[in-house]
Amino acid sequence: MTNRSVLISGASVAGPALAYWLHRHGFTPTVVERAPALRDGGYAVDFRGEAHLSILRRMGILDDIERARTGMGSMSYVNSAGKPLARMPADLFAGDVEILRGDLARILYDATKEHTEYVFGDSITSLTEDAHGVTVTFERGAPRRFDLVVGADGLHSITRRLAFGPEEDYVRHLGLYCAIFTTANHLGLDHTGHVYRTANKLVAMYSARRNTEAKAVFYFGSPILDLDRRDVARQQAVLADQFAGNGWQSDRLLREMRVAPDFYFDSVGQVRMDSWTRGRVALVGDAAYCPSSLSGMGSGLALVGAYVLAGELAAAHGDHRVAFAAYEREMREYAEGCQKMGDGVAKLMVPGSRFLASALNRYYKIMPYLPGKNMATKIARKTAENITLRDYAEVSAARP
């Protein structure tokens, strides 16, 4: 086995999942994370289909995820008075099992912390590769050497920028911005959510953590804005300008936004790349093939990508050139299929005119009575299952 030491940038989903499988196959993973600690909060993410569930089962964390699951039922589109206009089935949003992203990150961290070095509050500043490894410099820590480096650091990946080039070459903006934060469940939502849609805007609330709290979600249409991703005050000001006087719960949620402990704001985009590997550097999860938060496929795709990348490294006995090529072959069609789930969703979810918003609300109202009413759910499940996973455990068992 060669190239045993692997630096992973990012401690959300893909990073810890990759660390888990690398350790299982005999590698030594280190995870560096810019945030000072695990990120709590975030939106709900879901897994669907046997490809996702089988990996969670093999990791031994499916039971933990089941215990922390949101248990969400159907979601209702409402009018400005909060009266339900249409109801969307739970399976369309929640898959087979749904969990808050922060809860998932904690479970993955607990499953890996005993055999993975985690470095919080730091990030990569440069990568210098030679024939024998990569010298990595950090914002705070001393330079270190690793055999391989993997970027699992999301849509705005630092690793991708350093190894492949500027973000604008790979990230395609889908015309929306999103904000989410934790708030009080003042509507008394019981494992459900309400969605209010107007022209070019959507605001929603859904219950979380056994109805003890709620998540507030805002989407609005916009071209790329000149915003510092760390300037929370400016982001909140932009959101307030967009939604002030919007109706329903908008103004109350904007007030509660100011004291939220976990405010998150970002553009909605996809990552499109011809190759996810270069030399001794690879990308996984959203850094490589983000399908957008609208697709419902991001966390499952990250989980599968981590499993395949670690497995192919094991199968190639650490030869990154062989392993990276196999990883690209195994994942390309699957990743592109998941990305298609995000294409076109932006305009349907947040239509640009009042007429289209009203028409969609009327359509959703009659949709349960139409032929093919479950088509979207079936397409999502088929997409999630469109990969045959190799059993890399056989590779580890055969390794000397």
Q: Which of 183, 185, 194 is nearest to 212 (CA)?
A: 185
Q: What is the DSSP letter of 143?
A: P
Residues 6 or more apart in contact with residue 281 via CB below 8 angstroms? 127, 129, 134, 148, 149, 150, 151, 159, 163
Question: Are the C-beta atoms of 272 and 172 separated by less than 8 Å?
Answer: yes
Q: What is the pLDDT of residue 89?
A: 67
**pLDDT for res 132:** 95
Domain range summary for the chain, segments of one domain joined by +:
5-349+377-398
Over residues 17-31, the pLDDT tens digits come to 999 999 999 999 999
For 133-142, what is the mean pLDDT? 98
pLDDT band at 396 (very low <50, low <70, confident <90, very high): low
SS3 content of the chain, % helix, strand, coil (to 5): 40, 25, 35
Pairing of strands 148-151, 281-283: parallel
At CA 296, angle to CA 306 and CA 188, rounded to 5? 125
Percent of the chain past pLDDT 70, that is, above it, reads: 88
Fold type of domain 5-349+377-398: FAD/NAD(P)-binding domain (3.50.50)
Residue 280, helix vs strand vs coil: coil
For residues 316 and 322, the answer to whether their CB atoms sit within 8 Å is yes
Q: What is the mean pLDDT of residues 371-377?
A: 58
C-alpha 206/C-alpha 253 separation (Å) is: 12
pLDDT averaged over the chain?
89
Give the tens place of pLDDT for each residue, 187-211. Answer: 999 999 999 988 889 999 999 888 9
**Mean pLDDT across 108-128:** 97
Query: What is residue 342's predicted lDDT score, i.e. its pLDDT?
Result: 74
Query: Structure pTM?
Result: 0.91
| pLDDT of 375 over the 70 cut | no
Q: What is the pLDDT of residue 229?
A: 84
Whether the predicted pLDDT of 134 surpasses 70: yes
The burial class, CB within 10 Å (0-12 / 13-18 / 19+), for 29 is: buried
